Amino acid sequence: MTTTAGDHRYLQVARTLRKEIVDGVYPVGSQLPTEHELCERFAVSRYTVREALRRLRDDNLVASRPRAGTLVVPRPSTNAYAHDVVSIDDLLAFAQGARFDIETNAMITVDDALAEVTDLGPGTEWLAVGGYRRADDDTAPICRTEYYIHRSFAAVGRMLQRHSGPIFPLIEDLFGVSIIEVHQEISAVVLPVELARRLDVEAGTAALRMRRRYTTSDGEVAQVTVNTHPSSRFRHAMTMRRVRTAPPGSGREAP
């Protein structure tokens, strides 16, 4: 399996397995190798394998069933169109592509002002990790990044100085939970003096604040991330693609 600059390992694993399914190496009804076997084959982590399998599920190529493993399933035959906004997997790209320089890492109690920014409950305790994302040492920061991690998962804070990339995979691996939903909001803000200075722009510059809330399968908010980008350093792209849905009367609902 070759590595392309900018590619992510889970995409490489998914691409290889997808080709093998299409080529009939794993026919419909057959079982894919176990996560452990895939980890050994591709020399990747369990998280990478899980994300690759999630990609295949999103493509309606496989289904994971308790005590049955991951099975290759028939593709639905009917067509529908839907907006396919950025998936949870795709959130890895930005976090892995820009270095995060941590400046603060401590437990905090949310006050009213922070509650308005984060949508977290006033008086609740969270691990707050703040700093700036940079492409390199010679250019201005891309954005201000703030992570607020549920106190139940605050132990990840000890690992962050040696960690690169997104935080939510650490939470999944360390605590055995799954992030199943990310809710994103983007709003326009005006940069205050100190933040503008740190981002190397003029005070009062327009900026975009992106807030993401990561929810587990138990319905618990595990993490809230707030990124503040000067408007000149932010671009948002959305792709629409065809998705497959089940035919009427099949018992499966369309998205």
How high is the pLDDT of residue 252? Answer: 52
Binned at pLDDT 50, 70 and 90, residue 112 comes out as very high
Least confident of 35-44, 77-86, 162-171: 77-86
Find all residues with CB under 8 Å of 113, minimum gap 6, and list them.
none
Whether residue 149 contacts residue 157, with contact meaning beta carbons closer than 8 Å, is answered with yes
List the one residue out of 251, 248, 250, 245 whose CA is nearest residue 75: 245
For the chain, give the longest Cα–Cα distance: 61
Please give the CATH topology (third level) of the domain spanning 9-76: Arc Repressor Mutant, subunit A (1.10.10)
How high is the pLDDT of residue 56? Answer: 85
Phi–psi pair at 89, nearest 5 degrees: -55, -40
Has this prediction a pTM greater than 0.95?
A: no
Whether residue 177 contacts residue 217, with contact meaning beta carbons closer than 8 Å, is answered with yes
Overall average pLDDT of the 120-146 stretch: 92
Which of 93-97, 171-175, 228-232 reaches the highest mean pLDDT?
Answer: 228-232
How high is the pLDDT of residue 79? Answer: 39
| Every domain of the chain and the residues it spans | 9-76, 91-233
pLDDT tops 80 at residue 2: no
Whether residue 148 contacts residue 126, with contact meaning beta carbons closer than 8 Å, is answered with yes
How high is the pLDDT of residue 88? Answer: 53
Q: Does domain 91-233 have CATH number 3.20.20.140?
A: no
Using CA atoms, how far apart are residues 129 and 102, in angstroms rounded to an integer? Answer: 7
How high is the pLDDT of residue 94? Answer: 53
Whether residue 98 contacts residue 140, with contact meaning beta carbons closer than 8 Å, is answered with no
Which of 49-58, 76-85, 120-129 reaches the highest mean pLDDT?
Answer: 120-129
Reduced to 3 states, what is the DSSP secondary structure of residue 134? strand
Phi–psi pair at 105, nearest 5 degrees: -160, 90
Count the neighbouring beta carbons within 10 Å of the beta carbon of residue 198: 14
Looking at per-residue pLDDT, the higher value among 118 and 175 belongs to 118
Binned at pLDDT 50, 70 and 90, residue 83 comes out as very low
Looking at per-residue pLDDT, the higher value among 96 and 67 belongs to 67
Binned at pLDDT 50, 70 and 90, residue 81 comes out as very low
pLDDT digits (tens, 9 = 90+) for 27-47: 988 999 999 999 999 999 999
How high is the pLDDT of residue 197? Answer: 95
Binned at pLDDT 50, 70 and 90, residue 254 comes out as very low
Q: What is the 3-state secondary structure (H, E, C) of 14-38?
A: HHHHHHHHHCCCCCCCCECCCHHHH
pLDDT tops 90 at residue 187: yes
Tokens of 173: 């691996």
Looking at per-residue pLDDT, the higher value among 163 and 6 belongs to 163
